[in-house]
Structure 1
Amino acid sequence: MSATATATRPRAAARPSSDVRVTFPRLVRSEWIKLWSVRSTWWVVPITVVAQAGIAWLIAYFGTREMERSGVDLGAFTAGELVGGIQLAQLAICVLAVLTVTGEYSTGMIRSTLTAAPTRVPALLSKGLVVVVVSFVTGIIGTVLSWAVTYPVLGETYRVDLADATNQRILLGAPLYLAAIALLAFAIGALLRHSAGALATVLGLLLVVEGILSMIPWTFFEKISPYLPMSAGSQLVQNGGPDAVLSPWQGYGVLVAWGVLAVTAACLLLRRRDA
């Protein structure tokens, strides 16, 4: 009996424990650690916050000085001016989102990631979730800091009215917009798997293609340009107007749809392609 028990003990010890199963929360934790273990994250996140808050301060400072110099009082600033730096901040967020996924392909670490998660899709989704959450929190910090640095500059006369519904929507929309842009950039990075190519595609789409199409006086381009990612999503952080094709939340929904479709395509290709 003792010999049998002794012989079976090594087998029992060799059984894989349920504690080491690869679950989605464990993948998320792993991706969180990987994201903060690279130096680019520690550079990009502060740059995003400083860019957003710095431009807000410049708009507030020179805007108030110009009104005082000209003697024309345009009233209180709006939240749209307060988050004016978001157009520059989104570029830094796009770099972070792209490098998060393409960096693993360039170093070959993606093979280890997919070996640990052979179904592949959960690994990609966990990585994307971490990028979106970090972008959202970075947007919150940048928006709060933008308000803080402009508070003493604007004074009582020009200070943003936080009780106004439009201002509330814009301040909430700034981090939401950055999170959605990060999702789209991350998906393009997962599709192309090459840092330079993915960054060129993302920045070209947001800064070049959308700008060119909006200026072409053809009915077709005039119809589709409001539905392009940045044009649609930026409605959430603008004051809006009667000529807007999409409402702020409709525009944001279009931007999210772009990101979801791109992530879906990336998941499908990930299952078909080699690492």
Structure 2
Amino acid sequence: MSTTSFSPTPAARTRPRTPLQPVTFPRLVASEWVKLRSLRSTWWALALALAFFPLLAAMRSSSIATIADQAPPGSFVGPAYVTSGVTLALLVLCGLAVVAVTGEYRTGQIRSTLVAAPTRLPALWAKLTVVVGVVLATSTVGVLTGWAAAAPWFDEIGMTVDLTDAEHVRLMLGVPLYLAAMAALAFGIGSIIRSAAAGITSVLGLVFVVEPAFAYIPFEPLQQFAAYLPTAAGARLVTSDSLGSIVTGSGVTTLTPWGGYGVLLVWVAVTLTVAAVLLRRRDA
């Protein structure tokens, strides 16, 4: 009796294994960017936020052109009109920040994300990095398009954007920094609440209802306290010394522009700390 030797066919041979790549923070950031950009709503939100800057800059500049000859020279601060769209952009970008962190809880995809990053916090910081980066880029482009849209009326109005003037530079650079910090605050609130609808309602209620209510109540202690709430404090960075703020109704100027921004960053840090602690302790 003879024995027949068996040689595996090419299909039966063991294929070489694809080496597994370690999960690093840059890869988590790249993954979160893919998730965010793959949503059609992201691009609609960014386009809407971006459109507010040139639209409102042109509207405000053209509206004051008719009365510019009646105002004394130097009455109009160019960056204050260039950045007129900041308030409406704030509304849209904060909503985007909330959805960026709550969307995975609605679909259940958060479980897969946390399996890939079992320590959890790197996934949270990766999401935050993407959100803040997108908001910074969008608002920077928005400021530049607002400048271009308002520029045709500069000569008629007698105003300009002077990048050698410290206040002008602060107002122009302050808008992206302010919007990025507010988006980070909204992101933290969304991470705590885990619901898009409740998160957006909470953020917009804080920004457009609670804080203005404190600012307009004719009671001095409450008005002083309102100046230290996140929106009012951070808005000091984008407040013109002569024209006041177009973001908040608080007229208290106890805080310096950068001091107010520092207070906003403290609010952001506290909110994100709470979000991080709850992410580690709660089930997905």
Q: Calculate the TM-score normalised by the size of structure 1.
A: 0.90
Name 1:129's counterpart in structure 2: 129
Shift of 1:220: 3.1
Name 1:189's counterpart in structure 2: 190
The within-5 A match list for 1:22-41 is 22-41=23-42
Letter in 2 for 1:30: S
Q: Secondary structure at the match of 2:74?
A: coil
The within-5 A match list for 1:130-149 is 130-149=130-149
Name 1:119's counterpart in structure 2: 119
User: Does the 8 A contact of 1:76 with 1:160 survive in 2?
Assistant: no
- State the identity %: 45
Q: What is the alpha-carbon distance in structure 2 between the residues aligned to residue 76 and residue 147 of structure 1?
A: 18
Name 2:234's counterpart in structure 1: 233
Structure 2 runs not aligned, ≥5 long: 1-12, 243-250
Q: Secondary structure at the match of 1:240?
A: coil
Q: How many residues get paired?
A: 262
Q: Deviations 1:96-119 (Å, cap 9, x if unpaired)?
A: 101101111111111111111111
Q: What is the alpha-carbon distance in structure 1 between the residues aligned to residue 264 and residue 71 of structure 2?
A: 37
Name 1:96's counterpart in structure 2: 96
Q: Secondary structure at the match of 1:56?
A: helix
Shift of 1:162: 2.8
Name 1:77's counterpart in structure 2: 76
User: Does the 8 A contact of 2:230 with 2:264 survive in 1?
Assistant: yes
Letter in 1 for 2:205: G
Structure 1 runs not aligned, ≥5 long: 1-8
Instruction: Specify which structure has the higher proportion of helix.
Output: 1
The within-5 A match list for 1:248-259 is 248-259=257-268
User: Does the 8 A contact of 1:76 with 1:161 survive in 2?
Assistant: no
Name 2:50's counterpart in structure 1: 49
Q: Secondary structure at the match of 1:250?
A: helix
Query: After alignment, is 219-228 or 134-143 more displaced?
Result: 219-228
Q: Secondary structure at the match of 1:269?
A: helix
User: Does the 8 A contact of 1:76 with 1:159 survive in 2?
Assistant: no
User: Does the 8 A contact of 2:227 with 2:252 survive in 1?
Assistant: no
Letter in 1 for 2:76: F
Q: Calculate the TM-score normalised by the size of structure 2.
A: 0.87
Q: Deviations 1:64-102 (Å, cap 9, x if unpaired)?
A: 12224xx33453631123212101110010111011011
